[in-house]
């Protein structure tokens, strides 16, 4: 019988250690997962001690996955036993440790004797105090300095593409004859630094190409040039993107009233954005120049940009009547090009589908 997802120890304190420590992405879309359990089946990729291996299939179009680390090594770094990503933010260890203070991170020895000694000490500590004991990675407080950058980079939803089958090596060589029956992906392998990844570099947070790519992108956001105010001095509205459902109009008012008096705040949840209008242009420029790359409300990183004035034709026309697309004149067939080699008579539709007499079904 399959066990429900709530019974799995996903980064929580589980004293009996009957289930692996996995992230939501590795567990898959199905809320019920069927696993096989093999005690002492393989050696841990970090401490090289035998551990219990779990194997499962996250979804119908996914590959079989298994645990790669032991419970102790996963708890010491607060990472998933399979993908070796942080359980709280879903980020590589190198990215998480770069944002943490020295007091919040912990160095893992790379020598065999050092790892064995540290693992034994932490097993004794976990047996007495449980998961989250002193010396083990705890959850980062949202009030800390490092929380803002981690929240900006975190994955809000599971990324199930990581569970897709491996690439077909025969297809890359041009010799696979299975076609649609092949259980592997028929795609060409990637090249470059991202093609060279291993578990040890990701666990120790060193030379991880995925982490280096994310940190370069974050550095680019930090060093991004300030927003250029529009030339129209009457524009005092700022556009705020990435607004979640738990962010209300009052939350935005409290954040933006620090820079000046507000004229209006409008939240559009359908498009996950908001429009904040100031009474003066000076207040709008002050807010845009201060929080254009650092706005964070309730742990949600938001984007800020200048609003745009609506064109004169944007608000024109009768209510409920859609405007004609650009380049199409009003009227039946006025803007449609004639078929090649055919000249249409004035006032006559160019195509049969444009004739109002052909708009209904005919029965003979």
pLDDT-based confidence at 245, cuts 50/70/90? confident
pTM value is 0.57
Among residues 96, 71, 49, 65, the alpha carbon closest in space to that of 202 is found at 96
pLDDT digits (tens, 9 = 90+) for 202-234: 988 888 888 888 877 766 555 566 788 888 888
DSSP state of 181: G
Strand partners, 178: none
- Specify the pLDDT at position 56: 94
- Specify the pLDDT at position 14: 40
Chain centroid offset of residue 334 CA: 46
Q: Looking at the predicted structure, is the pLDDT value of residue 65 above 90?
A: yes
- The domain locations on the chain are 1-223, 237-306
Yes or no: domain 237-306 corresponds to CATH 1.10.10.10: no
pLDDT digits (tens, 9 = 90+) for 66-107: 999 988 888 888 899 999 999 888 889 888 887 775 445 556
pLDDT digits (tens, 9 = 90+) for 2-19: 333 333 333 333 434 678
Cα dihedral: 319, 325, 326, 331 (round 10): -80
Length reported for the chain: 364
pLDDT digits (tens, 9 = 90+) for 100-128: 754 455 566 666 677 677 777 767 766 66
Q: Looking at the predicted structure, is the pLDDT value of residue 146 above 50?
A: yes
Helix (H) or strand (E) holding 31: none
Among residues 216, 196, 203, the alpha carbon closest in space to that of 153 is found at 216
């Amino acid at each position: 019988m399959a066990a429900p997802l709530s019974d799995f120890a996903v980064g929580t304190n589980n004293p009996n250690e009957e289930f692996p420590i996995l992230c939501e992405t590795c567990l898959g879309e199905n809320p019920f997962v069927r696993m096989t359990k093999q005690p002492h089946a393989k050696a841990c990729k970090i401490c090289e001690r035998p551990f219990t291996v779990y194997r499962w299939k996250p979804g119908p179009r996914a590959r079989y996955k298994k645990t790669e680390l032991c419970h102790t090594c996963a708890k010491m770094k607060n990472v998933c036993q399979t993908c070796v990503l942080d359980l709280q933010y879903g980020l590589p260890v190198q990215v998480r440790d770069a944002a943490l203070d020295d007091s919040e991170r912990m160095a893992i020895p790379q020598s065999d004797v050092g790892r064995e000694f540290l693992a034994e000490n932490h097993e004794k500590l976990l047996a007495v105090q449980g998961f989250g004991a002193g010396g083990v990675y705890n959850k980062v407080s949202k009030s800390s300095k490092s929380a803002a950058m981690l929240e900006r980079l975190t994955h809000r939803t599971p990324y199930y593409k990581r569970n897709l089958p491996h690439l077909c090596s025969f297809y890359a060589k041009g010799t696979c004859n299975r076609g649609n029956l092949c259980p592997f992906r028929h795609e060409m392998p990637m090249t470059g630094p991202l093609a060279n990844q291993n578990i040890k570099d990701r666990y120790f947070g060193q030379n991880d190409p995925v982490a280096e790519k994310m940190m370069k992108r974050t550095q680019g956001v930090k060093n991004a040039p300030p927003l250029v105010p529009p030339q129209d001095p009457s524009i005092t509205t700022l556009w705020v993107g990435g607004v979640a459902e738990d962010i209300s109009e009052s939350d935005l008012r409290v954040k933006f009233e620090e820079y000046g008096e507000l004229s209006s705040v409008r939240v559009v949840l359908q498009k996950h954005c908001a429009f904040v209008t100031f009474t003066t242009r000076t207040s709008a420029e002050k807010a845009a120049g201060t929080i254009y790359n650092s706005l964070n409300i309730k742990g949600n990183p938001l984007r800020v940009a200048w609003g745009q004035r609506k064109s004169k034709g944007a608000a024109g026309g009768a209510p409920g009547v859609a405007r004609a697309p650009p380049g199409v004149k009003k009227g039946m067939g006025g803007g449609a090009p004639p078929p090649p080699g055919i000249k249409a008579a004035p006032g006559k539709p160019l195509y049969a589908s444009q004739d109002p007499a052909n708009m209904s079904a005919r029965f003979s």
